[in-house]
Amino acid sequence: MKRAWCVCGFLSLWLVLGRSEDFMVGDSLFSYVQSEAVDAAPASPPEPLMVPLTLIQGADSKGAVCLDGTLPGYHWHRGSGLGANSWLIQLDGGGWCNNIRTCVYRKNSRRGSSKFMEKELAFTGILSNKSEENPDFFNWNRVKVRYCDGASFSGDSRNDAAQLNFRGQRIWLAAMEHLMAKGMQNATQALLSGCSAGGLASILHCDEFRGLFPNKTKVKCLSDAGMFLDAVDVSGGRSLRNMYAGVVTLQEVQKNLPRTCTRRLDPTLCFFPQNLIANIKTPLFLVNSAYDVWQVQSSLAPQSADPHGSWTECRKNHALCNSSQIQFLQDFRNQMLDAVKIFSESKQNGLFINSCFAHCHSERQDTWFAKDSPLLQNKSVAKSVGDWYFDREVVKAIDCPYPCDKTCHNLVSK
């Protein structure tokens, strides 16, 4: 049965032909719709593995605490068989906070306090324990490190007046120390990955991660939807650069940014992956949508840059963009390709840049590895990442421009 993934727009069609699913990306609610042949009911997906939250006891003695001062945590499913000494660390994502107001708001949520974190998380996609869902990493030790600092695990400061702890770097170090003691020090293979703000964190910490292990350990990094660009928005300003400046200054991120970058650029610019990736020594794979929906909504065409609302409909749904708006988005794609050009020349690095309106492929089963997953060069994200990690093939896959890709699972904002 052929499945077509479409943008939301025809509610009556949803009710007759398909199903919709809502989920959060950062602070935005998105939907995707799966339309089905009317004579065939979709098969029920298997129940995902639920993995409990573990708090890192003693982390507070090192100052490694969430925004509100609670302990950080992670979810760990042990490896087995041939994967018993292989480790996959997935850094959680979920935006940033760039001023006292947004950080105070954040500390009263799972993004700033372990008090509000789910006690169990479903492990799907790259975290799945089923070989038919995650063929290369299903039996590894798979860990999801929760994100509760608001600066991609990289800040180190405190605001006493607001009782805010900006300790992302310490959380990163405490989590790695804890997991090394739990057996990761014996790893023969390791992969650091992350989605969105976690994808940025996997870039920022990639070489640090490599440094935890002896040279004989195979270590690589994966960034999913972490290539946030320093792009000009629809008003001619730089919305994301302005926001990042707040994050870097408030949380004193500059202390932990790569000196190969801060020696030549302003620290805010060194929070952008485009200014980091060419100097990372550890093999790195980038998975990204050339028309990343979070960047479209929050960097390219945020409401603050669109006071007259001319981008309102396009921002929510790419199918409603006019020709000049599509051209603006095509220019953004070109910036993405320019940003990875030098990086891609290294044989050890890998790419999967498709032309979808999406954000994050590795944690959702439908976009990681399924019968109708997005494809590039006839390979899913899971197959592409696996081929690269295990050196089965060189993977430098870049899609043709929108709207040529018919395998996308595009997202629209609610």
Q: Which residues are part of the catalytic machinery?
A: 196, 292, 359
Token pair for 118: 């789910």
- Expressed in angstroms, the distance from the first to the final Cα of the chain is 28
Closest CA to 331 of 375, 301, 298, 374: 301
In angstroms, rounded to a whole number, what is the distance separating the alpha carbons of residues 337 and 343? 10
Q: How does DSSP classify residue 46?
A: P
Q: 60 with 71: CB under 8 angstroms?
A: yes
The total number of residues shown for the chain amounts to 414
Cα angle 49, 182, 285; round to 5: 65
Residue 91 vs residues 75, 94, 249: alpha-carbon distances, Å = 11, 10, 22
Place of tokens 């006690």: 119
For the beta carbon of residue 286, count every other beta carbon within 10 angstroms.
Answer: 25
Residue 411: exposed, middle, or buried by beta-carbon count in 10 A (0-12, 13-18, 19+)? buried
Q: Determine which helix (DSSP H) or strand (DSSP E) holds 123, and give its type and residue range.
A: strand 120-123
Structure tokens at 26: 């950062």
Which two three-digit tokens encode residue 314?
Answer: 């396009």
Distance of CA 161 to the CA centre of its chain: 32
Task: Classify residue 300 by its DSSP letter.
Answer: I
Q: Which residues, including other chains, have CB under 8 Å from residue 279's CB and lie 6 or more apart? A: 258, 260, 261
